[in-house]
Structure 1
Amino acid sequence: MRGQDLYQFKAFCAIVEHGSFIRASAHLGLSASALSQIVKELEDRLDTRLFNRTTRSVSMTHAGSLLYDRIEPALSVLETVGVELATNDGRISGLLRLNASRIAATIYLAPILAGFMRDYPDVTVDVVVEDRLIDMVGGGFDAGIRLGEKLQMDMIAVPLSGDLQMKVVGSPAYLARHGTPIHPADLADHRCLCYRNPSDNSPYRWEFERREERREILVSGPIIVDEPAMLPQLALEGIGLAYQFSHQVDAQIASGALVQILEGWTPPFPGFYIYYPSRRQMLPALRAFIDYVKQW
């Protein structure tokens, strides 16, 4: 493989992993136009289109997906071997520092770490759990776990949870007393169970979307908390309405203890991702962890 071919493939993978030309170009240190030209040259050489592009999004074609599945493992092996040769030690060991939000750590990271640490007993994992956004590189972390909408532009991102969904719920007793909202604006007349934004301590605005209409509602109610896991129990007791991840309330909805409202206003959205600064000179422990996550 010629050097130019390899660089084109790496550029292609960067676009896939970052989810946009802008993020990938920032990561590679290129202009967006230069990166577009590299992809065009690769598409011309392969005589096939690799991406479907609009002004707002980019997605792989079927051919692009096949190409990524074939070449990404090979590029990963090349990079891992390079790091191992540079350290003169092929054993997977060392310290892996991770930063994650509370929900990501408890629901997704903990089950992954159990198997990973059995497979790689020489790796020591240091996990810091905090909901506020941090400077991952400045904080000395190797990787972090955050919602896709909160990722920094120059990061590589690996899907962890798949799409997620928020749900507005209330108890049958509460809805019988106060009525059922049919539009997000109706929440102004309801007692809502509020969650404090960890970044600036402001009340979190409930987000809604239906077709072309988007709303961010600053709700109010009898309580505001730092820990949203408290709120489903309060909703069950009829204290007010809660806005929660589906996994926090699905069981109670299925049993009838809680009722979902405003269903058409909370579509799925990109979930949690593991993100890290660069695949260049990646430590073997981090590469092993990323590969394990992809398999998991």
Structure 2
Amino acid sequence: MRGAEFASLKAFFAVAQERNFSRAAQSLGVSPSALSQTIKALEEGLGVRLLNRTTRSVSTTAAGGRLFDRLEVIFSDLDGALEELNQYRDTPTGKLRISAPQVAMLHFIQPILPAFQLAYPNIELELTTDDSTADIVAQGYDAAIRLGEFIEQDMIALKLSEPLTQVAVASPKYLKQRGIPETPIELLQHSCVNWRRSGEAGLYKWRFLNGDTPFELSVKGSLVVSDCAVALQSAIDGLGITVWIREWIKAELGSGKLVPLLEQWSTPFPSFYLYYPSNKQMSSALQAFITALRSPC
């Protein structure tokens, strides 16, 4: 196989995997138009249509799906063969793509970045902040961090935190103006800062406990954000009540910037996990990253 043919197959595989020319082109470092021409030339050379294209979507034909399945095995074996060479290097190398929601990015990944980059300069680390629960295999990620309740069954998951606590909070300024809610139902009379998870139409429902019985509440307010940090800062600025993980706002609670509310109703928050596909060989780069995450700072 000539180099050009191999490159064309890699290009097809990227498009079929991403189901999007723009994302595939970005991952390959080429323009969408150049990638489109490559795929067109491949199909003409093979005499078979591999992809169905519309203005909104890309999918494989029957022939394209068959080729994709074969290439997935071949490229996986090739990646494994190249990864085995890492044992002969002094330090791991390669590209590592990690996805995580913003709170996990801030509290788990950001603190280890300086030491990790210094220790492993040959690892190209690509971090994507994503609060959705997208399929990491389809998105081409090596691993991701999510709450345990959102992890698929066919994944290997490593716990990063003990169960946390979600608590409602507001600033002293807001509470002085609007009063302190004594029960969750009283939140419906308050201005609450709502959060919408990326890729979802509905707003996040606040969780509480009535004794041992959990329940959810759809609160109201004039401010809706997709960034959890904005929701927290908005509460500090006196714009309303929001919910946050108690263990991660000790400074704000200790300084009095925020006041915890409805503590007897507060509910446990699931643990965070790093997870990766069980059918994929763990690279030395991912091994190094996991070790860094699980080591005390």
TM-score (norm: length of structure 1): 0.65
Alignment match, 1:252? 252
Structure 2: which 5+ residue stretches go unaligned? 1-79
Alignment match, 1:64? none
- Check whether the contact 2:86–2:93 (CA below 8 A) recurs between aligned residues: no
Alignment match, 1:187? 187
Equivalent position amino acid for 1:263 in 2? E
Alignment match, 1:293? 293
| Post-superposition offset of 1:265 | 1.7
CA pair 185-295 structure 1, distance change in 2 beyond 3 A: same
Kindly indicate whether residue 213 of structure 2 is the aligned counterpart of residue 213 of structure 1: yes
CA pair 232-181 structure 1, distance change in 2 beyond 3 A: same
Q: Percent identity?
A: 37
- Check whether the contact 1:84–1:284 (CA below 8 A) recurs between aligned residues: no
SS at match of 2:127: strand
Distance in 2 between residues matched to 1:122 and 1:86, nearest whole Å: 14
| Post-superposition offset of 1:192 | 0.9
TM-score (norm: length of structure 2): 0.65
SS at match of 2:268: coil
- In the alignment of these two chains, the number of paired residues is 214
Q: In the TM superposition, what are the counterparts of 1:60-209 in structure 2 within 5 Å?
A: 87-90=84-87, 91=89, 92-209=92-209
Structure 1 runs of 4+ aligned residues shifted over 6 Å read 83-86
Alignment match, 1:17? none
SS at match of 2:164: coil
- Check whether the contact 1:154–1:277 (CA below 8 A) recurs between aligned residues: yes
Alignment match, 1:239? 239
- Check whether the contact 2:252–2:258 (CA below 8 A) recurs between aligned residues: yes
Cα distance per residue 1:259-293 (max 9 Å; x no partner): 21110222333332111112763222222322333
- Check whether the contact 2:83–2:284 (CA below 8 A) recurs between aligned residues: no
| Post-superposition offset of 1:226 | 1.4
Cα distance per residue 1:119-161 (max 9 Å; x no partner): 2222211112111111111111110011122111211111223
Alignment match, 2:228? 228
Higher mean alpha-carbon deviation, 229-238 vs 205-214, is at 229-238
| Post-superposition offset of 1:114 | 2.5
Distance in 2 between residues matched to 1:295 and 1:175, nearest whole Å: 40
| Post-superposition offset of 1:99 | 0.9
CA pair 114-160 structure 1, distance change in 2 beyond 3 A: farther
| Post-superposition offset of 1:294 | 3.1
- Check whether the contact 2:207–2:267 (CA below 8 A) recurs between aligned residues: no
SS at match of 2:250: helix
